[in-house]
Amino acid sequence: MTALSVPSVPADLALARLREATPLVQCITNSVVTGFTANVLLAVGAAPAMVDLPEEAGIFAGIAGGLLVNLGTPTPQQRDAARAAVVATDRWVLDPVAIGTLPVRTALAAELLQSRPAIVRGNASEIIALAGLGSGGRGVDSTAGAEEALEAATSIARSAGAVVAVSGEVDVITDGTETVRVPGGDRLLTLVTGGGCSLGATMAAFLAVCDPLSAAVAASVAHAVAAEHAARTSSGPGTFAVDFLDALAALDPSDLRDREAHLQGVS
């Protein structure tokens, strides 16, 4: 077992801060997942705002606690809104959904990366493609494991000055120097539309109250613990989606403290 550094703000403290602050989180996101993403943010203790008009996005980003830019359905309006928003804040998350073979979103992701997001969150294939080391996965599904993307994640983190979070059976999160692995969760979350996209939004919420590495880890821990709780009470993807929201809302900071105590030494 390899000893790993832990974030400067523990996940339990990050959750307590988030619940106290109720940060405003702007989402320029996939039209398929807006409702679920908003509900996840409400459940975790944040206030969602789906502001994606180009004329408003930059203004709103300047007052929001955190921003998510998700490229799942990159309409011309959303592309312009993203460009306006990312120059108005440094507390933002880039989610490069399905990049690689699809040219519009791939070029946009590369462009937005130059504006230095605080966090980049994606599956392994997306992160590998963003680093220029692969051609992407099967649509939104990864064809690589999170550990396979560590080299790409480290490269992006160092060149863009970002924390890179690779989602998988074990989430791999790096700032280019330190690497944290977050185990747990449940496969049922992959059968709910918006499971990954909402994780990016939760990371944006935590950005309002702590540094990027702590924000990414706290969000991953919160989703993993909530998914495990939901899996114990659900009978399939439909009930799991509802139970996951309930589990997020019921999270106590001590739940995250217990899980984070096991992060150090995961290899």
User: What residues form the annotated binding site?
Assistant: 50, 121, 167, 194
Which residues make up each annotated binding site for substrate? 50, 194
CB 180 within 8 A of CB 173: yes
Closest by CA to 208, choosing from 79, 54, 41, 81, is: 41
- Give the three-state DSSP class for 70: strand
Q: Which residues are annotated as a binding site for ATP?
A: 121, 167
DSSP state for residue 130 in the 8-state scheme = H
- Distant-in-sequence, close-in-space partners of 204: CB < 8 Å, separation ≥ 6: 25, 26, 27, 66, 67, 68, 91, 92, 93, 119
**CA 92/CA 117 separation, integer angstroms:** 5
Q: Hunting for tokens 């990954």 — which residue is that?
A: 196
